[in-house]
Structure 1
Amino acid sequence: MLHELRRPPAGTSPSTRRQESRRPLARRAVLLSSVLAVAAVLLIVVSCAVGAVAVAPAQAAQIVVGHLVPGMPWMSDGSLTMLQDQAVWQFRLPRVLLAGLAGAGLALAGALMQVTVRNPLAEPYILGVSSGASVGAVLVIVLGSAAVGGLSLNVAAFVGALVACGCVAALARKDGTLSPTRMILSGVALGSLFSAITSYLTISTDAQNVVSVLFFLLGSVSAATMTSLVGPAVALVVGCVVAAAFSRSLNALLTGDESAASLGVDATRLRGGLLVVASLLTGTVVSVAGGIGFVGLVVPHVARIVVGSDHRRMLPVTVLGGAVFLMAADLLARTVAAPTEIPLGILTAFVGAPFFLWLMRRDGAERAGFGR
């Protein structure tokens, strides 16, 4: 009798039952997004407080609020020193904000690439896009902007990412469509080629540039300034607007080109636009934070496992999750082995690779595309 009581009414349509089954996931997505947003704020406060100069979390929050809202009394009553103000506002706050923007951008780029090629292994690092962006950035560092037609480092990194993405798409094309297997193989091969070019540029440059180039390639936000936040912030806003506008089309693209076409979605044009947006996100992040792997691979998978594959729910969780993940990683990078700083790329690989393998062993990982 209990089974009969739980059975949906006879007149309930299949679409109504599907909507009812999605409601718990929608509520979970809202709750998780709220938790991640609060965690991001807490990480900003904690990161601004931790460092060589002693600053309490409450003082760090006061300094940030004092700069954003003029006329706060604690900014002039002598309770905060100039050294504390400089440490928080000029060094720690830009650093944690850049880590958040970089994590959100890479996670979003990974999610867009995965739906573009319908392959759970797609992400900027594996598909060679990060390596292409690194070539553009290192060319500017080693040879100067004149070597790339006067392009700035940010623009050169974006062009490198776009070229890599175009090469992968061209090599992976089969019978007018993108083959997921060829996409991965082409990305791995081109990534190795771009890495070889970067290595040659590194060993051929002056000795004083080698350390800075290597540290850049391993990923770091230690040189962050308020100005360096502009590029990643603009790219992230563009990426979020595009993803939100085409979230239903992204869901249709997951079902295959024929099904997407029956729903009025031009799969070829949509894929091209998504690849450009992903290249923009990757190029801007690499230009200011270097090469950081596994963020775009692990975070979207976790989001799909927790809140489902509907991009209207998954993408907000992915963006916030990527920001929180990299902010936490940067906090660990500068505190675990202090005063030595661990490059972000090394730390994300140590955390991301085992976590990725652990996800593959779980039953819920099938929903994210593992084991297919």
Structure 2
Amino acid sequence: MSTAAAPRSIDRPSTRDRVATGDLAPAPARTARATAVIAALLVALVVTLLVSAGAGQLHVPPDEVIGSVLHRLGLNAGDLPSHPNGEAALWNIRFPRLMMGLLVGAGLGVAGAVMQGIFGNPLAEPGVIGVSAGAGVGACAVIVFGWAFLGPMTIPAAAFVTALVTTVIVYGLARRGGRTEVVTLVLMGIAVNAVASALIAYFVFLGDTAAREQIVFWQLGSLNGSRWVQVQAVAPLMLVALVAAWTLAGRLDLLALGERAARHLGVHVERLRLTAIVLTTLMVAAGVAFAGIIAFVGLVVPHLIRMAIGPSHRSLLPGSAVGGALVLSLADLVARTAVDYADLPIGMLTALVGGPFFFWLLMRARARAGGWA
């Protein structure tokens, strides 16, 4: 995606903007505000999960949702669902779906924040290195040719492997003389994305009607069909990558000063960039493999969190994780309840919100730069 190709200068914050976001505020004030924002997001996330768990054709009141969870934890408190199928609906269908949404949303949010950090541009997003498009190639191939060597896990496994392979190709082509230039990486990502899109279109052409419908729905993203076995496959990869990404926070802050300054301060820029790309690939590939392509979460969420709490990655990364989980949980709630007896694609909903937001970002960047470069 071409969003990260914009020059660094178009969105460099002015002194007024840095004051507004708290970048120039005293450290205790920034920390307090970041803590308050993240706490508010956590409260909103918990409320969203309670509402989402009970919403649907089989309604379960929030107090019964809480009671069901407490009983599973061995605490005989609260009421169990009054509907005879309520307990099964919660634990076999809705809770796995909610957990998948939390993991994928957190991964996309953090991946976006990391990508914006290593590119030095808040218009960057994970798709720039071809992860999503690469995953699409693998998934579409399995759907069209009917491969089932891993049973129901074949599509996610193929999507995950091809996402990793695509990123390796992009990074290998962009690397020269032991270094990787950001502009070259972006251009290679655009080229590989174009090739992957052409392959996906070819698979759509080859497939029958059922395969085409499945490909289109997968490309638009959905948490429908998430089960505990899939959550167990995603959780270890996502949690390890999230923790590892947080350990990069200090070095990402130094990289924001510029590559030369970061090197003088002891940051191995090339190693940091490679590590960040690997972690981003793991998070996005794991999410896309099971939920399909969900656009704009990695772009919108980190940008909003940065505007609210400032650019420090020690706060930005956990804030983006919670914010991404909240956005995807809200999108999934709307997807399940907006239309009776239908499950809307989540990627469609996030694009409806993210598209106009991205347009606003571009207009904001142009106003700061005094016109298009």
Please give the secondary structure, in 2, of the residue aligned with 1:51: coil
Please point out which of 256, 260, 275 is paired with 1:273.
275
Taking the aligned partners of 1:339 and 1:25, their CA distance within structure 2 comes to 46
Q: Is 1:58 aligned with 2:63?
A: yes
Supply the distance in 2 between the matched residues of 1:156 and 1:255 (Cα, whole angstroms).
39
2:143 is aligned to 141
Any conservation in 2 of the 1:360–1:371 contact (CA below 8 Å)? Answer: no
- Structure 1 residues 84 and 173: alpha-carbon distance in aligned structure 2, compared to 1, 3 A threshold: same
Gapped runs of 5+ residues in structure 2?
A: 1-22
> Is 1:69 matched up with 2:74?
yes
Equivalent positions of 1:278-357 (< 5 A) are 278-357=280-359
Q: Distance in 1 between matches of 2:86 and 2:173?
A: 53
- Distance change (3 Å), C-alpha of 1:69 and 1:138: farther
Question: Shift of residue 96 of structure 1?
Answer: 2.0
Distance 1:83 1:241, change over 3 A: same
Report how far residue 173 of structure 1 moved: 4.3
Q: Deviations over 1:293-317 (max 9, x none)?
A: 1001111111111111110111111
Matched, 1:46 2:51: yes
Q: Evaluate the alpha carbon distance shift between residue 128 and residue 51 of structure 1 in structure 2; reply closer, same or farther with a 3 A threshold.
A: same
Larger radius of gyration: 1
Pick which of 111-120 and 266-275 moved more. 111-120
CA distance in 1, matches of 2:164, 2:372: 30
Question: CA offset at residue 103 of structure 1?
Answer: 1.0
Q: What amino acid sits opposite 2:55 in the alignment? A: V
Secondary structure (helix, strand or coil) at the match of 2:232 reads: helix
Partners of 2:335 and 2:344 within 8 A in 1: yes
Give 1:20 deviation, angstroms.
Answer: 6.3
Counterpart amino acid of residue 34 in structure 2: A
Identity of aligned residues (%): 37
Of the structure 1 ranges 300-309 and 63-72, higher mean CA displacement relative to structure 2 is found in 63-72
| 1:204-215 → structure 2 map (5 Å cutoff) | 204-215=206-217
TM-score, normalisation: structure 2: 0.84
Q: Give the number of equivalent residue pairs.
A: 346
Unmatched runs of 5 consecutive residues or more in structure 1: 1-17
Instruction: Sort the Cα spacing of 1:362 and 1:19 in 2 relative to 1 into closer, same or farther, 3 A.
Output: closer
Contact 1:91 1:224 in 2 (8 A): yes
The reply on whether 1:127 has 2:129 as its aligned counterpart is: yes
TM-aligned CA deviation for residue 116 of structure 1: 2.2
Inter-CA distance 73–127: structure 2 relative to 1 (3 Å threshold):
closer
Runs of 4+ aligned structure 1 residues displaced above 6 Å come to none
Letter in 1 for 2:71: G
Residue matched to 2:255? 253
8 Å Cα contact 2:63-2:78 kept in structure 1: no
Deviates more, 1:36-45 or 1:260-269: 260-269
Q: Distance in 2 between matches of 1:112 and 1:358?
A: 22
In structure 2, the CA distance between the partners of 1:223 and 1:85, relative to structure 1 (3 Å rule), is: same
Question: For residues 145 and 339 of structure 1, do their structure 2 counterparts lie closer, same or farther at Cα, with a shift above 3 Å needed?
Answer: closer
Q: CA RMSD in A?
A: 2.7
Cα deviations across residues 15-39 of structure 1 (Å, max 9, x unaligned)? xxx9962322211110111111111
